[in-house]
């Protein structure tokens, strides 16, 4: 099942990439100067050449074109005529031919397309033979599928679409030993016989890996088999998930270049390693002294950088501010806090700790447990803090309270013999139905769609997103059905689709 999922994922990714490739540049550090243009010229200078009128008697125009590199255009469908010849099509190199309606790709130079002519009434034919040969032996059964073609000089032959690959290789059309022809590409016949052989290209691995990056959610590498010399497109930037970071491009370890998402890439004759270019996310960290959002204090900062914990300007009658708490971390105003990054779609919010009475928070931050020491002028005291994730009980054996006025200073030492208890309210969600990402009581395509939306746009469709149809915390737990990639990943959406197709019988899938 793992290999089956890998193949489907690779196929789907390739399909999406192919659609997107035409609109993306190739290198992140590309020159920002104006894009060059190239001229496509149709040579009509042969003596006696004219354009054949259409059915309405109008003469179509064949004009020069100005195109950007890597762009495409359609070969004009208008036909030419010349006494004593028949028009076959157009060519740039006198090797490959193009007929009206074909797509021609502009590369990095000006182009001159000339008409190809066959002599009218020519009775001499030349043979194009397809030779399928392994270790010196001709595969006659294979050659029955690709019979020879006979044409006069100046005519076109559409190269066979049949392929006969060998293990570890991929066939990319056919070759005469010098020129390579793609399947169904037109080859111009000249005044000699031609033998074509399978154009075999060795397969190499195009590997994407997060390397030694930390805080990774889900998969850490992707591998695709690509034939040497084959054009492809790099993956989109949503292939890996890392807390606190986003992928802004790809770095090729082989050529040392940086590329943008879905940039065109030609596979070399070696395995290739591609790594993400990570950029830290800028967070707006909320410090919430109350349940009113207008009271929030906002501090901006990037992942793995330090911010200064703000003062609490909010006053809660009958309580003393005891610090700011996020998960199991408690900070005091003025402390330095290094932003750790959060799971995609999850922000970072501190809540105020309020201690009933006139207590004062002294100790601050811990990464494992929270210890709170409180001083008071009475023999016992209790403080209640509401948190989403932890419960903390703290005992204090002695403390000192110092009161200062303009005329006198008094010091009092009080021994607290009863523990100060921190009470926790838990809001942890549980899975209600595996596969039901939108929590509507059914498992259908909408669940897979919501997962992909939450991954692509977590601020809108992730947990606590802005959309009314965003994923809930329970829905996120329901969605995690691919145990090979724990956490919310594209693998979960794929497993749900396979379940709907009957390829997966139950959740979770291990």
User: Six-digit token pair at 73?
Assistant: 């255009």
Q: What is the mean pLDDT of residues 93-105?
A: 96
How many Å separate Cα 410 from the centre of its chain? 65
Predicted local distance difference test score (pLDDT) of residue 309: 96
Q: Which of 340, 256, 262, 335 is nearest to 302 (CA)?
A: 340
HEC letters along 248-314:
EEEEECCCCCEECCCCEEECCCCCEEEEEEEEECEEEEEEECCCCHHHCEEEEEECCCEEECCCCCC
Q: Give the CA count within 13 Å in the CB-facing half-sphere of 510.
A: 0
456-481 per-position pLDDT tens digit:
888 988 998 998 889 999 999 999 99
Predicted local distance difference test score (pLDDT) of residue 26: 45
Place of tokens 């805080």: 215
Q: Is residue 379 predicted with pLDDT exceeding 50?
A: no
261-314 per-position pLDDT tens digit:
999 999 999 999 999 999 999 999 999 999 999 999 999 999 999 999 999 999
User: Six-digit token pair at 368?
Assistant: 């494992």
Q: Is residue 373 predicted with pLDDT exceeding 80?
A: no
What letter would DSSP give residue 21?
G
Q: What is the mean pLDDT of residues 326-345?
A: 91
Average pLDDT value for the chain: 82
Which is higher by pLDDT, 389 or 195?
A: 195
Q: Is residue 1 predicted with pLDDT exceeding 90?
A: no
User: Where on the phi/psi map is residue 416: left (φ > 0), alpha (ψ -120 to 50), or beta?
Assistant: beta
Domains and CATH numbers, the chain: 26-119 (2.60.40.4270), 123-279 (no CATH), 282-421 (no CATH), 429-510 (1.10.1330.10)
Predicted local distance difference test score (pLDDT) of residue 33: 61
**Strand pairing of 245-252 and 258-259?**
antiparallel
pLDDT band at 494 (very low <50, low <70, confident <90, very high): confident
Q: What is the mean pLDDT of residues 473-500?
A: 89
Q: What is the mean pLDDT of residues 18-22?
A: 36
Count of positions (residues) in the chain: 510
Predicted local distance difference test score (pLDDT) of residue 160: 97
User: Six-digit token pair at 155?
Assistant: 């005519």
Predicted local distance difference test score (pLDDT) of residue 23: 36
Q: Which of 248, 253, 243 is nearest to 276 (CA)?
A: 248
Strongest mean pLDDT among 265-279, 391-405, 487-501: 265-279
User: Six-digit token pair at 13?
Assistant: 């990714």
Which is higher by pLDDT, 14 or 440?
A: 440
pLDDT band at 44 (very low <50, low <70, confident <90, very high): very high
Which is higher by pLDDT, 105 or 504?
A: 105
Q: Are 350 and 331 in contact (CB under 8 A)?
A: yes
Predicted local distance difference test score (pLDDT) of residue 358: 60
Q: Is the pTM of this model over 0.75?
A: no
User: How many CB atoms sit inside 10 A of residue 110's CB?
Assistant: 13
Helix (H) or strand (E) holding 225: strand 221-227
Q: What is the mean pLDDT of residues 477-501?
A: 88
Predicted local distance difference test score (pLDDT) of residue 344: 83
d(CA 203, CA 209): 19
pLDDT band at 3 (very low <50, low <70, confident <90, very high): very low
Q: Is residue 152 predicted with pLDDT exceeding 70?
A: yes
With residues binned 3-state (H G I as helix, E B as strand, rest as coil), the percentages for the chain, rounded to 5, are: 10, 35, 55
Q: Are 365 and 330 in contact (CB under 8 A)?
A: yes
Place of tokens 């003469």: 59
Q: Are 412 and 404 in contact (CB under 8 A)?
A: no
- For residue 508, say if its preceding peptide bond is cis, omega within 30 degrees of 0: yes
164-219 per-position pLDDT tens digit:
989 999 999 999 999 999 999 999 999 999 999 999 999 999 999 999 999 999 99
Q: What are phi and psi of 213, to 5 degrees?
A: -65, 145
Q: What is the mean pLDDT of residues 67-91?
A: 95
Q: What is the mean pLDDT of residues 376-397?
A: 35
d(CA 17, CA 25): 13
Q: Which residues contact 188 (CB under 8 A, 6 or more apart)?
A: 88, 91, 94, 95, 96, 97, 116, 154, 155, 156
d(CA 165, CA 38): 37
User: Six-digit token pair at 169?
Assistant: 């290789």
Q: Which long-range contacts (CB under 8 A, 24 or more apart) does 32-35 make?
A: 35/68, 35/69
Q: Is residue 4 predicted with pLDDT exceeding 70?
A: no
Q: Is residue 7 predicted with pLDDT exceeding 90?
A: no
How far separated are the first and last CA of the chain, in Å rounded? 9
d(CA 43, CA 65): 12
């Amino acid at each position: 099942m793992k290999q089956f999922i890998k193949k489907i994922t690779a196929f789907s990714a390739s399909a999406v990439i192919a659609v997107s490739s035409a609109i993306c540049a190739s290198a992140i550090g590309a020159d920002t100067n104006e894009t060059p243009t190239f001229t496509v010229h149709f040579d009509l200078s042969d003596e006696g050449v004219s354009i054949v009128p259409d059915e309405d008697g109008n003469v179509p125009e064949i004009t020069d074109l100005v195109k950007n590199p890597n762009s495409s255009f359609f070969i004009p469908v208008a036909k030419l005529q010349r006494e004593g010849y028949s028009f076959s099509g157009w060519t740039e190199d006198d090797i490959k031919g193009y007929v009206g309606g074909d797509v021609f790709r502009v590369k990095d130079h000006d182009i001159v397309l000339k008409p190809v002519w066959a002599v009218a009434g020519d009775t001499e034919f030349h043979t194009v033979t397809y030779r399928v040969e392994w270790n010196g032996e001709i595969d006659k059964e294979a050659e029955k599928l690709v019979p020879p073609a006979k044409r006069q000089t100046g005519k076109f032959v559409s190269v066979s679409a049949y392929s006969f690959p060998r293990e570890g290789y991929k066939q990319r059309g056919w070759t005469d030993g010098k020129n390579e022809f793609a399947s169904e590409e037109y080859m111009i016949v000249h005044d000699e016989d031609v033998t074509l052989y399978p154009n075999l290209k060795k397969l190499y691995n195009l590997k994407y890996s997060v390397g030694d990056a930390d805080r990774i959610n889900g998969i850490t590498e992707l591998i695709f088999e690509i034939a040497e010399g084959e054009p492809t497109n790099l993956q989109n930037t949503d292939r890996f998930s890392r807390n606190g970071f986003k992928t802004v491009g790809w770095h090729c370890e082989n050529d040392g270049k940086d590329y943008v998402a879905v940039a065109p890439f030609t596979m070399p004759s070696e395995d290739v390693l591609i790594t993400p270019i990570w950029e830290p996310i800028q967070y707006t960290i909320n410090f919430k002294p109350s349940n009113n959002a207008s009271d929030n204090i906002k501090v901006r900062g990037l992942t793995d950088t330090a911010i200064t914990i703000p003062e609490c300007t909010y006053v809660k009658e009958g309580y003393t501010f005891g610090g700011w708490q996020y998960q199991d971390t408690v900070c005091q105003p003025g402390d330095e806090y290094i932003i750790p990054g959060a799971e995609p779609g999850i922000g970072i919010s501190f809540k105020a700790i309020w201690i009933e009475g006139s207590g004062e928070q002294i100790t601050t931050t811990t990464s494992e447990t929270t210890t709170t020491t409180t001083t008071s002028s009475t023999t016992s005291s209790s403080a209640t803090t509401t948190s989403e994730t932890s419960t903390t009980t703290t005992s204090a054996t002695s403390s000192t309270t110092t009161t200062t006025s303009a005329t006198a200073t008094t010091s009092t030492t009080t021994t607290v013999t009863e523990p100060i208890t921190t009470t926790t309210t838990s809001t942890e969600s549980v899975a209600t139905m595996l596969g039901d990402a939108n929590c509507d009581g059914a498992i259908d395509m909408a669940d897979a769609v919501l997962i992909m939306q939450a991954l692509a746009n977590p601020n809108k469709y992730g947990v606590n997103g802005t959309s009314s149809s965003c994923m809930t915390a329970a829905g996120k737990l329901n969605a995690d059905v691919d145990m090979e990639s724990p956490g919310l990943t594209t693998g979960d959406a794929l497993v749900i689709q396979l379940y709907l197709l009957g390829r997966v019988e139950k959740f979770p899938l291990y």
